[in-house]
Structure 1
Amino acid sequence: MVYIKLAIFTLVFIAVEVFSSTRFRDVTITGAGVFLSGDKRILLINIDGDKSSMVECATTGRFAIDSSVPNYQEMVSMVMTAYVSGQTSISLHVIETCSSWGNAQDVRGIKMGAMPW
């Protein structure tokens, strides 16, 4: 019975993750900035790719991640590396919220180059 509950929980978790996240593929980062909001640092990102699938709360067309997310430092490094080097094959993994910064969609992952998720 425990295994059945665990299997159902796993399937629901996977379904929620699949349907509540989006990937913006093969974009270029055109701008980035780090701001302070209370006790959190916020990384804001702008891209030149198609933004039509962004959530409604992302009225600025930007993406954000805050310093409470465990991979914040790594994401800042990746974003700045991508920006400075002019990478044109960036993919962002985002969720459908604007919790980090009220008018920017939340980012949970980033990759550069030819690498599958």
Structure 2
Amino acid sequence: MEADVRESTAPQAPSGRAQRIAERTRAEGWKKPPRRIETSECITCDTCLRSCPAEFGAIFDIGLDVVIIPELCSGCPSCVLECPVDCIYVDEDWTPTEESVWNHIELTTEGA
């Protein structure tokens, strides 16, 4: 019985969203490109942020802008369907997220 307790309390490698945050990479199996928010069209209502499925959690408030982190975005249309101003687009040519944004993400997800 003691062996069972030790096995269940052993630290496990992060999985899913936590792993993508730790590795700062996009899931290989995702077929759709990520989405992006056109900040010049966005009214910062946060509707997209609230509609992004928790298993992705790809949308963040960064200063005055709302952004989609491509490494966390599966390309699903949840945010697009809820955006009142249609400012979310497919991002075929996405670039890796900057270090300062990852630092913000880590601060906002600690303890989550």
**Normalised TM-score (structure 2):** 0.30
Which one has the bigger helix percentage? 2
**Normalised TM-score (structure 1):** 0.29
Which one has the bigger strand percentage? 1
Structure number with greater Rg is 2
